[in-house]
Structure formats: structure tokens, C-alpha cells
Amino acid sequence: MLNKYKVFLFTLGFFLILILLIHLKYESEKFPKKQITEIKLQIDKNKSFDNIEQLDNLENLSNDFDGQANEYITYTLNAGDSLQKVFMKFGLPIRDLNLIKDKLPVNKKIYPGQLIEWKQSSQNSKIIEFNIYHNQSEIDNFEWKNNYYQYRKIVKRGVKVDRYVKGYIENNFYQSAIKTGLNATQIHEIGQALSHKINLSKDVKKNDQFIVLMEEEILKKNIISSRVKAVLYEQNNTKIFAFKYNNQFYNEKGFRNLAKFLPYPTKKLYRISSHFNPRRLHPVTKRITPHRGIDYAMPTGTRIHSVGHGIVIASHKNRYSGNIISIKHTGGYITKYLHLHKRIVKKGQRVKKGQLIGLSGNTGISTGPHLHFEILKHNKHLDPYRVSKMIKQQVQNRKKFYAQTSPIKQKLIGELESG
Ligand SMILES: [Zn+2]
């Protein structure tokens, strides 16, 4: 009896010790494992963002053995990922996703390479904070507060610094500009800015010099944005300037080229079936009749847009022109759109450049579906093909313009001559 009792106690003790050992082993493995996954997530974050502050966090985390230092889980979206897929992958509550989606501005899209980050409640698995990083400085932030997700757009602002970039032409402008660290968008912008005087894709010469003033925004040692503020291009001792002012480029006298009219009244260019011709043999009447516009061959129903801002002075139908719309613009210009299938604007209506005014057709005296388009200046017909669609526009406040650009101009010249 006594022996049986001893054996029982011994066996019980043995199992208790065994359970304790298993438990200890489990505990010792549990935390380091969690630690590793979180460090990995942090490293991913650093890869995409090269963010110094995150590095600091990583170091703190490594020294912290309870594994609770960072409750945020970070994930970089892959091609084909949707938020739905990510939620399923991580077993996150879909109900929360739907609530978050309700608050996400409609124009915001997610794309591969983008970083998302979330924090869950320790009691239940509810997502209490959700972040979508659009870039290093713009974050969509959703925080669970008072039983709903509160949306905030967080924009981190950096410090603005001016930087002068200098280069000279070896072969072409693009290559030389890339060498100085400018990107393709900025190079295109500079080309546009100087187009009033020089075509940088054609007219450059070896050893021409250029100076670009860049404004860079720096956040935590990273350049988060950079924009072209001014350009000086020198060829044969001639200096060409462009200054950004009110978000547009102007020359040093404060002028800019402005597209008054669209190049043609359709989205894409259609084949010209008949040019402007004051002495044309009319295809229907066989008499010499001036062709006072351009005919563009296009299928009936093609969308027709006003080439400029203006007021509709005629919108009606007659037996020659079919459905016709006339629009009056500033500077004594009138544009006319003939043979339309459908007119969408009414007489007296104000229209914007590019606004849809009707659909092309084959109405009136016409040999096939086309748009007959005319431009008149002071009631005289011009060849729409040759009318300069550009006008010069000067800044409204020249004093202010000079006050702002003169110091930059001197600095650009100084940089150029500093060798
Ligand atoms: Zn015509």
C-alpha cells in the first residue's frame, strides 16, 4: 500500500517536472521567434524608405527582450496585391477593412511597392491604426476612435534648400542633363521653359553651358522633392533665361508662351482631306470656290472640342453648313465647326478650351463624314494650319516679378562665370 503510494507520487512528480521543462523550452523559444519576424519587417521598411529614424527603432527593438517594442506590422505591397488579399493573408478582420475603405478618399489608389502598416488591439484583433504610405512624406492615417475610423492625411514637410546644378553639352542636352542628376521630367520641363528661344532637342552645340537652380525639400537626410526654379542656358555668349513664377516659366522680361488654341478640335489628329485653299475647285459644284477652312476626315460621332475659351455666337442648322457652331474668342478670333451630327452647346453659352461642343457628322453639303473647321481673325479667314496657336502673355505685376527674379538671375550668372 505504502509502496504503491510512493510510486504514484514519483510518477506524478516526474510528469510535473516534464511539463515544467516543456513549458520553459516553449517560453524560451516563443519570444526570440517573435523578435525575428518583427526585425525582418523593420528591415523591409528600411529598404524601401532608407529612414534613419527607423534604424534607431530597430536598434531599440533588438535591446528589448519582451518583443513588445513595436506593435506595428509593416507590409510592402506586391504586384497583384489588394488590401482585401493582404487582410486575408494576415487574418485581419475584413469588417475593419470595409470601414477603412469607406474613409479612403476615392482618388487614392494602392500600387505595388507601397508600404502599409497596422496596429491591432491586444485584447481583440481589432485594427486600431492603419497607415498607407504614398511616399516618404504623405501618409493616409486611419485611427479607431469613438467607434469609427478617423481619417487624417499626414504630410511631413521637409526643409527647403536651393542647389545650383551645372553642366555643359557634350553630345546632346538630355545626356548632359542626366549626368548632372536631373531627372527626365525635369529635363522635359527645362526644354519647355526655354522653348521660347531654343529647341534643346535640336539646336544645342558642343560646350554650351547651363545652370539650373533646384529647390530641394529635405526630410531626415532624404530629398523628398525637387523642382526646377530657374534656368540659364548659354550659347555663343547669348544667355537664355527661364524663371518659375506663380508655377509657370517666364523669360527674363516676364513673358511666357501660352497656347491660346488647341492645335485641332479633336482629341487625336485626323487625316486632312482638304486644306485651306482660296482658289479651290469645289468637289460638288465644280466651280472655283475658296475652301476657307480645313477638312478633317473622321467617322460620324467623333467628339468635337472648342479649340479655345470663348462664347458660342451661333449654334444652328442650315442647308449648306449643316449643323454649325461658331465661337468667339478674345483677340478678334472666331472659330467655326461645320457639318456636325449633333450640337451640344447653345448660342450665348460660355465654353472653355477643350470643352465638348458637339459630334462630327455629314450634314449640309458634304461629300462624306468630316469636320470642316475655320479660324477667322477680324472676320478674315486664316489658314487654320498656319495660325500660330501660341500667344505671348506677360506677368501682371512686373515689379514683383523683377524683385523676385533679379537676385536669382545675378546668382545664375555668377555660377556660370565661376568656371
Ligand atoms: Zn470644308
**pLDDT computed for residue 69 by the predictor:** 38
CA 241 / ligand 1 centre spacing (Å): 43
Helix (H, G, I), strand (E, B) or coil at 91: coil
Q: What is the mean pLDDT of residues 42-50?
A: 35
CA 81 / ligand 1 centre spacing (Å): 53
Note whether 71-155 and 272-388 share their fold: no
Q: Which residues are in the CB-under-5-Å shell of ion ligand 1?
A: 295, 372
CA 295 / ligand 1 centre spacing (Å): 5
Q: Distance of CA 77 to CAs 152, 183, 224, Å?
A: 21, 25, 21
CA 374 / ligand 1 centre spacing (Å): 9
**Domain ranges in the chain?**
71-155, 159-256+402-417, 272-388
Q: What are 166-219's pLDDT values in tens digits?
A: 999 999 999 999 999 999 889 999 998 998 889 998 899 999 999 999 999 888
271: burial class by Cβ within 10 Å (0-12, 13-18, 19+)?
Answer: exposed
CA 265 / ligand 1 centre spacing (Å): 14
CA 383 / ligand 1 centre spacing (Å): 12
Tell me the pLDDT band of 1, cut-offs 50, 70 and 90: low
Tell me the pLDDT band of 46, cut-offs 50, 70 and 90: very low
Helix (H, G, I), strand (E, B) or coil at 360: coil
pLDDT at 39 over 60: no
Poorest-pLDDT segment among 27-31, 342-346, 369-373, 404-408: 27-31
Q: What are 234-256's pLDDT values in tens digits?
A: 999 999 999 999 989 999 999 98
CA 196 / ligand 1 centre spacing (Å): 33
CA 388 / ligand 1 centre spacing (Å): 20
Q: What is the mean pLDDT of residues 389-411?
A: 91
CA 261 / ligand 1 centre spacing (Å): 20
Integer Cα distance of 333 and 19 in angstroms: 94
CA 60 / ligand 1 centre spacing (Å): 76
Q: What is the mean pLDDT of residues 65-87?
A: 76
Q: What is the mean pLDDT of residues 371-394?
A: 88
CA 332 / ligand 1 centre spacing (Å): 22
- Which of the following CATH numbers is that of domain 71-155: 3.30.1780.10, 2.60.120.200, 3.10.450.350, 3.30.70.1070? 3.10.450.350
CA 372 / ligand 1 centre spacing (Å): 4
User: Long-range contacts for 382-386 (Cβ within 8 Å, ≥24 apart)?
Assistant: 382/276, 383/275, 383/276, 383/294, 384/276, 384/293, 384/294, 385/272, 385/275, 385/276, 385/294, 386/276
ipTM of the complex in this document: 0.98
**pLDDT computed for residue 345 by the predictor:** 97
Residue with cell 547651363: 210
pLDDT at 44 over 90: no
Does domain 272-388 fall into CATH 3.30.390.50?
no
Does domain 159-256+402-417 fall into CATH 3.30.70.580?
no
**pLDDT computed for residue 123 by the predictor:** 82
Q: What is the mean pLDDT of residues 359-369?
A: 94
Tell me the pLDDT band of 417, cut-offs 50, 70 and 90: confident
Q: What is the mean pLDDT of residues 18-28?
A: 58
Helix (H, G, I), strand (E, B) or coil at 170: coil
**pLDDT computed for residue 2 by the predictor:** 54
CA 258 / ligand 1 centre spacing (Å): 28
pLDDT at 263 over 90: no
CA 377 / ligand 1 centre spacing (Å): 18
Please tell me which residue, 67 or 180, carries the higher pLDDT value: 180
pLDDT at 90 over 60: yes
CA 293 / ligand 1 centre spacing (Å): 6
CA 90 / ligand 1 centre spacing (Å): 65
pLDDT at 42 over 60: no
Average pLDDT across the chain, whole number: 84
**pLDDT computed for residue 25 by the predictor:** 54
Q: What are 113-155's pLDDT values in tens digits?
A: 888 999 998 888 899 999 998 877 788 999 999 899 999 998 8
Q: What is the mean pLDDT of residues 294-321?
A: 96
Question: Bridge-partner residues for 261, per DSSP?
Answer: none
CA 102 / ligand 1 centre spacing (Å): 53
